[in-house]
């Protein structure tokens, strides 16, 4: 029941935030205010419900690591997406025509903050933690990445390949960041930096969501197999490559820090091992 209460708490707050943002669509400053408020309330509610249902300190949201975790994560996420755009620009598949919309970028900041925090609390904070207790780190990582990718099939311009790419690259990267740090601030930062760079700065499509114009007036052309097509650069092989490299680095760090959890052995497995000896 603990996992149910935690999931419901975050989902209800996320849904309320989405409705609020939809109600003020077209007003970037109200979108920013509602988005940031949704993110803060979701974090506070998660801390409350986890502390209440698990009766433990909520170390994954420890305040002391918030600033450094968010900062490093945002910088890394933005750098990774910047590397994707740099390759597409070099191939002349990404073109900048001038300045875009500051209000559009402001609204995207609010929308992104609410979405990112909600997703990280759900997928890393609740789903990954609970599955890991029973299956160990590796199986839980695969399960979380698969569900994370499948969720993106609900987006307006979703494609099967886009969902697979997001599951492997995004789901794997963000979960690996959590495993390495054992707090939610780092994956929240990485996710936030990536999405803000994609939508609010470079004005590309974010996971097929019909993303509005950001700071740059830019366009994408070229073969969908390289650019990600209507789904956006997250479906590009460059995104897959750079995210997989970062995932490997995080998992290496997690191994060095002894943060990998082995599969929980059932009583039957224990008995069988004893008999073989």
What is the tens place of the pLDDT at every residue in 31-77? 999 999 999 999 999 999 999 999 999 999 998 889 999 999 999 99
pLDDT per residue over 200-215, tens digit each? 999 999 887 888 899 9
CA distance to 23, 82, 244, per residue, from 192 (Å):
23, 13, 18
Q: What are phi and psi of 90, to 5 degrees?
A: -60, -35
Give the pair of three-digit tokens for residue 237: 């092989």
Q: For each of the chain's 277 residues, which pLDDT tens digit applies?
A: 889 999 999 999 999 999 999 999 889 999 999 999 999 999 999 999 999 999 999 999 998 889 999 999 999 999 999 999 999 999 999 999 999 999 999 999 999 999 999 999 999 999 999 999 999 999 999 999 999 999 888 888 778 888 898 999 889 999 999 999 999 999 999 999 999 999 999 999 988 788 889 999 999 999 999 999 889 999 999 999 999 999 999 999 999 999 999 987 654 443 333 334 3
pTM value? 0.92
Angstrom distance (rounded) from CA 189 to CA 136: 25
Angstrom distance (rounded) from CA 195 to CA 81: 8
């Amino acid at each position: 029941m603990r996992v149910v209460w935690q999931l419901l708490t975050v989902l209800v707050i996320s849904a309320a935030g989405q409705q609020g943002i939809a109600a003020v669509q077209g007003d970037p400053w109200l979108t920013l205010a509602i988005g940031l408020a949704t993110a803060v309330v979701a974090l506070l509610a998660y801390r409350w419900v986890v502390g209440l249902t698990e009766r433990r300190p909520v170390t994954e949201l420890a305040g002391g690591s918030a600033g450094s975790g968010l900062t490093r994560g945002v910088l890394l996420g933005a750098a990774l997406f910047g590397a994707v755009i740099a390759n597409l620009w070099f191939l002349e598949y990404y073109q900048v025509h001038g300045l875009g919309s500051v209000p559009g970028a402001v609204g995207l900041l609010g929308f992104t903050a609410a979405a990112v925090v909600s997703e990280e609390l759900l997928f890393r904070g609740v789903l990954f933690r609970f599955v890991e207790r029973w299956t160990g780190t590796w199986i839980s990582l695969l399960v979380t990445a698969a569900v994370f990718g499948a969720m993106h099939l609900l987006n307006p311009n979703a494609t099967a390949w886009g969902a697979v790419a997001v599951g492997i690259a995004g789901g794997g990267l963000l979960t690996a960041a959590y495993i390495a740090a054992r707090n939610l601030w780092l994956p929240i930062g990485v996710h936030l930096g990536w999405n803000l760079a994609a939508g609010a700065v470079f004005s590309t499509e974010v996971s097929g969501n019909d993303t509005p114009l950001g700071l740059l007036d830019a366009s994408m052309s070229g073969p969908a197999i390289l650019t990600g097509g209507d789904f956006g650069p997250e479906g590009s092989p460059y995104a897959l490559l750079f995210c997989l490299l970062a995932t490997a680095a995080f998992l290496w760090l997690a191994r060095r820090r002894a943060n990998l959890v082995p599969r929980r052995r059932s009583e039957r497995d224990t008995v069988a091992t004893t008999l073989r000896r």
